[in-house]
Amino acid sequence: MTARAFISGCKSLALSGEERAFFRDADPWGLIVFGRNIESREQIRTLCDEFREAVGRADAPVLIDQEGGRVQRIRPPLCAAHPAAARYGALYAAEPESGLEAARIGAELLARELSEIGITVDCLPVLDLPVEGMTQAIGDRAYADEADAVIALGRAVIEGALAGGVLPVIKHMPGHGRATVDSHYHLPRVSADRATLEASDFRPFAALADAPLGMTGHIVFEAIDPDRPGTLSPVVIQDIIRGHIGFDGLLMTDDLSMKALSGSVGASAAAALAAGCDIALHCNGDMGEMLEVAAAAPRLEGRSADRAGRALSRLAPSGEVDMAALAEARDRLLAGAVA
């Protein structure tokens, strides 16, 4: 029997008896961890093992947002400090080949650190194109503000993550760079016409549509669906993400507990899955909300199950490397841009 079509968070450093029973019975496809779930490398590994034991699947994905810069859930001394995406973009602007190599190595370093402690999915790269004057919710998490640069750097990051034994997630589809407010707290609305969006914002996602996993953005595109945010919009998901962009990987929502979405999380999960998302993502670890999402999530089946299987099939052991030498090579490239 396949897992249910949702990913859940948990409250603390170890699973409570209630959480263990919930995961056993509800059988989410994956677990996502945050800073509240992190104390030591050994503890993280144990938490991952507890989750996989509860759902009875040794390959059950464990996810994290570990981009580098200000979005880095695991921090020193448990792992290295990693630069924000914009650092690679700055190097790429000056020396394209060095920028691509640094970004690839940086992603591999992140992935190897995560793989060592049982985490198998990293929610990066951010493929959004920031527009001047928009919210800093994206900011230096973006690699560049020009599509060709984001495409090249995004490809390097995807390759590095896979080489390091972790699955990457392209986000936030079909583009979050024009948001004037932070979707963690408010619902952004974008007024740009479709032609403009296709010529810019959508391009990185279309170029990297062969990625194994993708994440939607909670944002209204008035020229496409003025009534519903992309996560809940059949038009955005079917016509834009699946159609124009051509993404046929496993599509998950952004966190359903973000304030951009109104109504209950259960209703949002049901609407997102009905609109064409494969997986509902719920992060805050609130058991009442987790039960709502689980009730709305069917078993993965059909094309969604196929996409999930294809994604997991791209997860491969990374082999041994000299991590210190890799980090030195990346840092030397980045230092060259400063010099």
- For the annotated catalytic residues, the residue numbers are 184, 254
DSSP letters, 93-112, are: HH-HHHHHHHHHHHHHHHHH
CA distance 155 to 170: 10
Q: Is the dihedral of CA 315, 317, 319, 320 positive or negative?
A: positive
Q: Is the dihedral of CA 41, 279, 140, 244 positive or negative?
A: positive
Extract the tokens encoding 13: 């450093």
CA distance 202 to 214: 13
CA distance 304 to 56: 20
In this structure, how many other beta carbons lie within 10 angstroms of the beta carbon of residue 148?
11
Extract the tokens encoding 99: 């920028």
| Cα atoms found within 13 Å of the Cα of residue 277, Cβ hemisphere only | 33
DSSP letters, 263-285, are: S-HHHHHHHHHHHT-SBEEE-S-
- DSSP conformational letter for 212: S
Burial group, residue 34, by CB count within 10 angstroms (0-12, 13-18, 19+): middle
Beta bridge partners of 66: 72
Q: Which of 59, 60, 62, 55 is nearest to 27 (CA)?
A: 55
CA distance 331 to 17: 44
CA distance 182 to 119: 27
